[in-house]
Chains A and B, each alone.
Chain A
Amino acid sequence: MLSKKQARAFFLGGTLVTFLIFIGLTIFSLSKDVDQTNHENITEAVVRGKNLWDSNNCMGCHTLLGEGGYYAPELTKVIDRLNVKYNGSGEQVIKSILMSPVPWQPNGRKMVAYGFSNEEAEDLIAFFDWIDDIDLNGFGEVVGVDKSISPIARERMNNQ
C-alpha cells in the first residue's frame, strides 16, 4: 500500500519533472528557429496598434487568435473576410468603423464609438495585418476565407 512518504515523492518528483519539461518546451517554442509569427515584421506601427488594442480592451468583446470576449467577431483574418465581402475594400471598411463618431451596430449590437484618428486606425490595421500572416496551425483557415465555403453560406452572402 502506498505510504505518505511515497505519495509526497510522487507529488514533488512529478511536479519537478513536468515543470522542467514545460520550461524546455517554452524555450524551444519561443526560439527563432521555429518562429511562426514573422517576428521580424513587427513594425513600430504594429506595436502601436497592439497598444491601442490593449489600452482599449478590445479583447473584452472581440476575440483575436481565438481569445477574448465572444461578444463581437473574431478579428484574425478580418481584413481577408471583409475584402471578400466588400470587393477588396476591407481596410477602408475597418477604418471607417474605427474612426466612426457614433456606435457601429451590425444587427443591433453596438460597438463603442472610439473615434480613432486616421493614424490610430492605420496602426490597428497594421496590427491586424501582422496577425493575419501568423501560422496558426490551421485555425487561420477555420476563421478565414474558406474556398470550400458551404453553398448555403454562399447563397446568404449573395443575397446580402
Chain B
Amino acid sequence: MKYKSQKVAYWFFALSMALFVLQLIYGFIMGFAHAGFDGLHEFIPFNTAKAVHLNLLVVWLLSGFMGAAYYIIPEEAQIELYSVKLAYVQLISLAVVAVAAIIGFHFNIWEGRKFLEIPRGLDYLVVVNVLLFLYIILMTLYKGKRRTTTALVLTMGLFFAALLYLPGMIPFDSQVTDSFFRWWVVHLWVEGVWELIMGGILSFLLIKLTGVDREVIEKWLYVIVGLTFLSGVLGTGHHYYYIGVNKIWLIVGGIFSALEPLAFLAMALFAVNMYRKGEKKHPNKLALYWTLGAAIVSFVGAGLLGFAHTLPQTNLYTHGTLVTAMHAHLAFWGAYAMIVLAIISYSLPNMTGRKLYDSSRGRMAFWFSNIGMVGMTIAFGVAGVAQVYLERIMKIEFMEVQKMVEVHFYILIICATLFTTGIILYIIDFVKHGRPTDEALEVHS
C-alpha cells in the first residue's frame, strides 16, 4: 500500500463479502424451492428470493469494483484519494440503499423488471451515490501526477456503467420497449462496460504480479476492450431475437454475439501469456490463482457457454429456460466475482500488513468454490437441456417437466454447499487478515 487513503477499499470489500454471503443464503432458498422444498414460501416467496439474489449480486460486485477503484486509482495516479470522508459517506449510503431495497422486496415494494427490481425512489439515490463515487475518482485522477491507461479504462468502465443505468429508469407502456431498454442496462453492463472494469483490474493485477512492462500490458488491454465493444454492443441483439422486434436482430445479434467469445479468449490468452512472460514471481500466489482463474473461467462461462445458446436457431428453443441460468452462473462467477476476489486477495495483505500468502485455507477456498460452481453449472445445464427437450420439443407441460428435473436440483444443492464452503474459507481468510492499518505503509516500503 502506497497511500493511506487506499485503506478505504477494505470497507467496500468487507461490505462486498457480507452481501455475498447473504446472496448465497437466498440462492439456497431458491435451490430448495426448485427441489420441491418451499417451506419459506409464506415469508420469502420465490420472486422475493430471486430479486434479492440478483440485486445482491449486482450490489456486492459494484461494491467490489468501487473498492478496487479506491485501491487502484491512487496508486496509478500517484496521489491520495480526493476525499476519504466522502468515500465513507458513499460507502454508507450504498449499504443503506442496498439494505432498504432488500427489505422492500420482502414487502412487495419493487419494480418487476429482472435485475432492475430496485423501486424508482431508490433508483434516484443510486444515481446520487454513483455520481458521488465518480466525483471522488475523477477528482483524484484530475489532481493526480500521471494518467495511466489502466486507470482510464477502469474509470471509463465505471463512468459508462453509471450512464447506462439511466435507460432502465425510463417508463414505457409497452412490455416490448420496456424489455428492449432493460437490456441496454443489463447487457451493456455485463457484456460491455463491466468488461472494461474487469480489464482495468486485470491489467493492474498483471502489472503488479508478473512484472511485465506496463506498456505491453496496456497495449493488449486496448485490444481486448476493443474486441469487447466490437462484439458486445451489437451482440445485444441476442436478447432481441424473440421479444417482438424486427428480424434484423436475428442476423446482427447472431453474428456479433458469436464473436463475443473472442474478447474472453483474448483475455484468457493475455493473462496466461503475461504470466509466462513475467520474470517477477510475486509471492502472493493466491492473488495469482484468482487473477488467472478469472481470465480462464470467464472464457468458459461467458464465452463458450454463452456461445452454446446464442445462435438464433438454438436460442429459439433455449430462450427462457434453465439453460440461461447455466450460462449466467459460470459467467458472473468467472468474469466478475473472481476478479473481485482477485483484487481483494492482492490488496488485503498490502492494506493490513499481514502477508498470509499461499495459505492452504486460501487454496482450498479457490478450489472448493470453483469445483462447486462448475458442478452447479453442470446441474443447471442438464436440467436446462432436459427442460428444452421435454417442454419445447415434446410439448409436456411446464410443471410436469419441473417435477422431472427436480433431481438435478439435489445435485445443485450439493455442489452449492461445496461452493459455499469455499467462500466461507475465503471469508475466514479475509477476517484473519485483520483491519487495515497505516503501519502497512512502512511494511510495504
- The segment from B289-297, B316-324, B430-438 that touches chain A is B316-324
B178-201 residues with Cβ-Cβ distance < 8 A to A are 178-180
Q: List 15 other contacts, CB 8 Å, given A60-B47, A66-B242, A136-B244.
A: A18-B233, A18-B256, A19-B229, A22-B236, A25-B248, A54-B113, A55-B111, A60-B48, A65-B242, A66-B320, A67-B114, A70-B325, A110-B41, A110-B45, A146-B395
A26: which B residues are within 8 A, CB to CB?
180
B246 within 8 A of A: yes
Question: A74 to B233, Cβ gap below 8 A?
Answer: no
B181-236 residues with Cβ-Cβ distance < 8 A to A are 215, 218-220, 222-223, 225-227, 229-230, 233-234, 236
Known: A54-B112, A73-B399, A142-B392. A14 touches B176 (CB 8 A): no
Which one of B111, B117, B244, B324 has the greatest number of beta carbons of chain A within 10 Å?
B244
Which of B108, B215, B223, B395 meets A56, CB within 8 Å? B108
Instruction: Write the B390-405 contact mask toward A (1 if CB under 8 angstroms, else 0).
Output: 0011111111101100
A107 to B51, CA, bound (A): 24
Chain A: which residue is nearest B152 at the CB level? A8
A101-160 residues with Cβ-Cβ distance < 8 A to B are 103, 106-110, 112, 127, 131, 134-139, 142-143, 146, 149-150, 152-153, 156
Instruction: Write the A5-41 contact mask toward B (1 if CB under 8 angstroms, else 0).
Output: 0011011001100110110011011100010110100
Which of A19, A61, A146 meets B50, CB within 8 Å? A61
Question: Can you name 29 A-B pairs with beta carbons within 8 Å?
Answer: A7-B226, A14-B230, A18-B256, A19-B233, A25-B248, A29-B249, A34-B246, A46-B173, A55-B110, A55-B112, A57-B108, A57-B117, A59-B112, A60-B46, A60-B47, A60-B114, A61-B46, A64-B175, A68-B114, A70-B320, A71-B46, A110-B41, A138-B316, A139-B316, A139-B319, A142-B316, A143-B320, A146-B395, A156-B396
Question: B176 to A60, Cβ gap below 8 A?
Answer: no
Question: B242 to A47, Cβ gap below 8 A?
Answer: no
B243 within 8 A of A: yes
B4: which A residues are within 8 A, CB to CB?
none
A59: which B residues are within 8 A, CB to CB?
47, 112-114
Question: A136 to B242, Cβ gap below 8 A?
Answer: yes
Question: A4 to B319, Cβ gap below 8 A?
Answer: no
Which of B46, B227, B247, B399 meets A69, CB within 8 Å? B46
Residues of A participating in the B interface, judged by any CB pair closer than 8 Å:
2-4, 7-8, 10-11, 14-15, 18-19, 21-22, 25-26, 28-30, 34, 36-37, 39, 42, 46-47, 50, 53-61, 63-74, 103, 106-110, 112, 127, 131, 134-139, 142-143, 146, 149-150, 152-153, 156
What is the distance, in angstroms, from B64's C-beta to the closest C-beta of chain A? 24
Interface of B (DSSP majority class): helix
Question: B316 to A4, Cβ gap below 8 A?
Answer: no
B92 within 8 A of A: no
Question: B223 to A137, Cβ gap below 8 A?
Answer: no
A37 to B47, CA, bound (A): 27
What is the distance, in angstroms, from A48's C-beta to the closest C-beta of chain B? 10
What is the distance, in angstroms, from A151's C-beta to the closest C-beta of chain B? 10
Chain A: which residue is nearest B223 at the CB level? A7
A110: which B residues are within 8 A, CB to CB?
38, 41, 45
Question: A58 to B112, Cβ gap below 8 A?
Answer: yes
Which of B110, B177, B215, B242 meets A139, CB within 8 Å? B242
Chain B: which residue is nearest A59 at the CB level? B112
Known: A28-B246, A71-B33, A153-B394. A60 touches B322 (CB 8 A): no
What is the distance, in angstroms, from B67's C-beta to the closest C-beta of chain A? 26
Which of A11, A18, A50, A107 meets B402, CB within 8 Å? A107
A36 to B324, CA, bound (A): 25
Known: A4-B222, A112-B47. A67 touches B243 (CB 8 A): yes
A128 to B58, CA, bound (A): 30
